[in-house]
Every structure is written in C-alpha cells, then in structure tokens.
Structure 1
Amino acid sequence: MDTQNVYILAIESSCDDTAAAILKNDVVLANVVATQKIHEEYGGVVPELASRAHQQHIVPVVDQALKKAGITKEQLHGIAFTKGPGLMGSLLVGVSFAKSLAMSLNIPLLDVDHMQGHLLAHFIDGASIQKPTFPFLGITISGGHTQIVKITDHFEMEVIGQTIDDAIGEAFDKSAKTLGLPYPGGPLIDKYAQLGNPKAFVFSKPRVADLNFSFSGFKTAVLYFVQKQTKENPNFVQENLYDICASIQYSLTEIILDKVKKAVKQTGITTIAIGGGVSANSGIRNMLLSAEKKYNWQVHIPKFEYTTDNAAMIGIVGYFKYLKKEYADLSITASARTKF
C-alpha cells in the first residue's frame, strides 16, 4: 500500500443524487454524480423513488469513479459516507454499501455529516481561490438548510444561527412554483433575475430574533402578491416575469446579507465561506463579493461543482478524519437529522 498518499472513496446519497468521489489526500481524482430526472414529473423529490434510484446507481457510480481515478479498490485506505442529514431511505443505501465494502476490504469506515461536507469543501485542493483561515463563518444555504456556523477548526463548529422553519432553497423553489416555473425552480429564478429590475417589487423582510432566519412568511407573501396581481391582470406574471424573479432574488439575498453583517459584528470574524446548493446562486455570490469590498471581509466561494451535493466534499472530511484516526464503528447507521 502507498504510505505517501491516502486514497479515500467517498459516497454521498443524502437526497436525489448518487455520488462517488476518489481523493488522493486533498486532491480530487474523480467526482462522479448520477442525477435522478424522475422527480421533475412530481415537482419535488419523492423519497421512495429516490432510494430505489440510489440502489440502481451506486455500483456503477463507484465503479466509474475508481476507473476515472485510475486506481483499484484494493488501493483504498478508507471509505467515507454521508451519515445524515437527509432522506432516510436514500442515506441507508449509501451507508449499507460503504459498510459492506469497508468490511470486505478491511479498511476504516468514516462517517461524515452532510452539512460539514458543504462547509469543508473549501479545503479541497483548488475548490476555492484560497482556503479559508480559522476562525471563519460558514454560511450553509441549500434546499433543506440555512445556517450560520462559527468554525474554529475542521471539527470544531458551532451553529450560531439557523432557520426556524423553511430553508432559503425552499423559498426559491416554492416562489418559482407560484410563478408557474418547473421544478427545480431556484436556478430559473436566478436566470431570469439577471434580465429584470431587482427593485421593481418590494417584499417585506421577516423579523426574526438574533441570527436566525425564517422563510415561510416570505413564500406566503410571494403567493399573495401573485394572486392579487393576476386577479387584476391575468397576464401579470407573463408580462413581468423577469422583474418578479429579480425582486424575489434581491429580497432573499438581502435577508442573508443582513444576518451575515450581524454575525460579523457579533463575533468579530470577517472571514466568510459559503456552501450548499444555493451558494451557486449568482445574486448571492455577487452580493457577498460586493460586501467583501465594502466591509473589508475575506469571502470564499466554492467552484460550482462543489456547491450542489457531491461526494468530493464528503471525501475531504473523510480524509481529515482518517488522519485523526476517527473511524466509525460498523454498528453505525444513518440519521435523518444530525447536529454538529
């Protein structure tokens, strides 16, 4: 076995993407993702269909990752997997496969928190322009999560703010659904927002204490706004789509910015790193880059391939765990809800 280099196989199956990656230390040799198109027909992820699709995809995806990396399974030093949070049926497919393979190869099993993966993706070689320095504020923004995390070490994280109801990704997708856009609608709002006026329509910001977020009221406000306007003009959405999308995106990015400014003031930490699917949103990226110049922050934005669910981010956490010999016991199982 190669003692100079550590080869980690990582598996991610928390939602509707089956992903496998091979890392040599902090370098990604392969990062393979099989997406599930079937959910588009239902306007959202159907858990039972997702777990079935994972069972079909996991062996070919892992096989492809090994071939792409140019190594054999016998060269692996450890297997990292997502233990949660996520859809239970989907997680169990990844956990079961990882445990079986680790047992057959007699190598360590490395359990990884999905949200920790999003935050530590910045430490993958080449994932960001430069790696964040500790301490930093991690902003996780996705379809299922919105959190502000104080990070003082790879494994020392404290959630200092989070959503009390829905996540920002849900606000994007549900607003898109209200506008009659297909699932997933968040990327379409981003696309159309770039062609519209962000201040054409005003949506009130939810008032939430401390560093916490709330997006359920925002979704309702968009729904009532569209219903009221279409009652007066049935073609309102069609005629104003770009401006509505731009206004929605502007409002949501402002909610994030307000809380990040508050977190910086409260902690004195000016290094910020974003992660999660919604960190691919151009409005949020541009807002943070503008804030970096305005407030003299250090902002870290990952490459697009490390924003959505992927196994490379699970692999980097697995690599750090391997170095610390923090191995999982074979009795470990998936958990739909996890805490750092």
Structure 2
Amino acid sequence: MLPVKVGTAGLRQSDALFYHIKHLPDASKNLMKEIDYRGKLLAIGAATRPRPIEDSYMPVFMAAKSYGETLSNLLNIPFYEFSHQEGHIEAGLWSIKREIEKAFMVLHISGGTTELLKVTTINNRYDIEIIGGTGDLSAGQFIDRIGIKLGLPFPAGPSIEKLALNWEGTTAIETPIAVQGNKVSFSGPETFLQRKIDNTVSNEEIAFSLLQCVGKSLYSLLKNTINNNPVEDLLIVGGVASNKQIRNTLNNLSNEFKINLHFGDIKYCSDNAVGISVLCLKNYLRRKQLDC
C-alpha cells in the first residue's frame, strides 16, 4: 500500500505517481525471486487510464504505461493497454468463472468511482456506456470521509465494516437518501452523518448507518435504472462491493427484478491487477490465433 498520512483522504496524483515510481523497482525485485521469467514472458499488460475512452487520463497511470512500454521494448514482446475500469470488470467475471456474451449492466463502486454501466464485449475488450452514477462523491469517498472523521486509517472501508459488525442495535440512524433518476448523491448524507459524529452517537452505530445508507442509495439507483435498460445480468465490482452489509442490501434486487445478480468474489473486488492480467492473456491468445 502507498503511504497515506493519518487524517488524510488519500494522495495527490503527483505524490501517488512519485510513490509508484519509487516502489516499483523493489516490487519487481521481490516478484522475480519467485518467478523464472526467462524465455517465458510472452506479453505485458497494464492499466494506463481510468476508463476506456479517448480523453480519460490521470497522471498516476503514467507509471504503468512507462514501465510496461519500456519492458515491452527491451524484451521485444507485445504491450497491451487497458483501462482501470476494464480491469475491475474482468476481475469480477473471472473470479466467479463467468463469461457474459450479451450486453450486461455493471455497478462499479470503489474509492474513486460510482458508475452504472452498460457493457458489451467486443473482441476481448469492453465497450462501456455510462448510464448512471454519482453526481458528487463516490461511495468510497463517502465511506472514507466518515471513517477519517472517526479517526480510522485510510482507506477506511475495512475498519468501517468491523465497527458496523460490532453494532448491537437493530436499526440504523435514518440517514437521508439522495437519488433522482439515474443519479445518486452522497454529499448530503455525508453532512448529515458528520453532524451525528459530533453528538453522543457511538462509532459502531455511525458505521452501521453509513453502510446502510450506501446500500439503500445504490439499491434505489439500480431500481430506477434497471427498468429503462433491460438486460439479463448485473455485475457488481470494485472495492466497495466487497462489503458484506452492502451486498446483503443489494441482494434483494434479484428477487424484485428478473435479473441475474453477480458479485465479484470478495477477495478480487479490489484486485484490478488480476483483471488486467486476464485481459492481457486473452488479447495475446487472440492475436496469436489471428496470426496463424
């Protein structure tokens, strides 16, 4: 994990890029102790932008692009570029051993993203259309901001989940849900819960109520959007999707709507790298097949 100062919500892009460049040599050294790559490394894949669209850019992704392309040139092997979002989608499907050929819906919920997507698979790549999502904070930012206010380390998701599990009450604080059509807002609920922290409410109750609010907000967002976008499958991925309380809330969707609901395996919800690896393998094999 990259170093984040206590009381802060993540890193600036310039700092994140610096730490990637600083730590990658050590990471690669440790990796090579376990892998004999000589003559066996056939292709390199990397996430080089946030989303698979032309204008998508964040400086931190330049570390992966620079290292990946340089190694590709030195070893004379192909370099495949993907987006961070494609990595999460592929990791989710791979983790549950599914291939979905028809258009399907994806709820991508993480530290920086809360987007509802309509996805079509084309030649081992994903054509993605944004059909809904947040108008301000992502679900992950909402969780992290409340967590930091409670004095928890960043990212706050795991600590928030532990606190929520220790809440012995049966009901949550009635936190406002701000969903209109295909847009969800978390800034109002954040302000509401921030004020509750200043009162005599336990951290456990705050954490439980926070996750309940996130789950109900996303449920309402999906409910508003599913009817206008008829698909058979809904995949939920991203770091926030690993939270069991949120999963339990969203599980009711499959009962209310005729839709196949898929959650990425908890272990791989936040593991973007495994998705990029699978996409790299698929595209390498496809290119090899076309060359034959």
TM-score, normalising length from structure 2? 0.85
Equivalent of 1:264, from 196, 217, 226? Answer: 226
Q: How far is 1:310 from its partner?
A: 3.5
The answer to whether the aligner puts 1:120 opposite 2:90 as a matched pair is: yes
CA distance in 2 between partners of 1:297 and 1:288 (Å): 12
The answer to whether the aligner puts 1:171 opposite 2:136 as a matched pair is: no
Match of 2:9 in 1: 44
The answer to whether the aligner puts 1:143 opposite 2:111 as a matched pair is: yes
Q: Counterpart of 1:45 in structure 2: which amino acid?
A: G
Q: Secondary structure at the match of 1:225?
A: helix
Match of 2:190 in 1: 219
Match of 2:270 in 1: 308
CA distance in 1 between partners of 2:100 and 2:148 (Å): 36
Match of 1:100 in 2: 70
Confirm or deny: 8 A CA contact 1:163 1:214 kept in the other structure.
yes
Confirm or deny: 8 A CA contact 1:198 1:249 kept in the other structure.
no
Q: Counterpart of 1:311 in structure 2: which amino acid?
A: A
Q: Please show how residues 185-196 of structure 1 align to structure 2 within 5 Å.
A: 185-196=156-167
CA distance in 2 between partners of 1:191 and 1:214 (Å): 25
Q: What is the aligned residue count?
A: 278
Q: Please show how residues 1-340 of structure 1 align to structure 2 within 5 Å.
A: 35-36=1-2, 38-47=3-12, 48-68=14-34, 70-85=35-50, 88-124=58-94, 127-128=95-96, 130-153=98-121, 154-196=125-167, 197=169, 199-208=171-180, 210-227=181-198, 230=199, 236-237=200-201, 240-325=202-287
Confirm or deny: 8 A CA contact 1:132 1:300 kept in the other structure.
no
In structure 1, stretches of 5+ residues that fail to align are 1-34, 231-235, 327-340
Q: Secondary structure at the match of 1:177?
A: helix
Q: Secondary structure at the match of 2:46?
A: strand
CA distance in 2 between partners of 1:266 and 1:257 (Å): 15
Q: Secondary structure at the match of 1:41?
A: coil
In structure 2, stretches of 5+ residues that fail to align are 51-55
Q: How far is 1:132 from its partner?
A: 4.1
Q: How far is 1:66 from its partner?
A: 5.0
CA distance in 1 between partners of 2:32 and 2:260 (Å): 36
Greater relative contact order, per chain length (Cα 8 Å cut-off, separation 6+): 1
RMSD after superposition: 2.5
Confirm or deny: 8 A CA contact 1:43 1:184 kept in the other structure.
no
TM-score, normalising length from structure 1? 0.74
CA distance in 1 between partners of 2:59 and 2:228 (Å): 39
Structure 1 stretch displaced more, 281-290 or 156-165: 281-290
CA deviations 1:249-295 (Å, max 9, x no partner) are 11110110111122221112241111111111111222233433454
CA distance in 1 between partners of 2:266 and 2:61 (Å): 23
CA distance in 2 between partners of 1:71 and 1:161 (Å): 45
Q: How far is 1:198 from its partner?
A: 6.1
Q: How far is 1:42 from its partner?
A: 5.0
Q: Counterpart of 1:226 in structure 2: which amino acid?
A: I
Q: How far is 1:200 from its partner?
A: 3.2
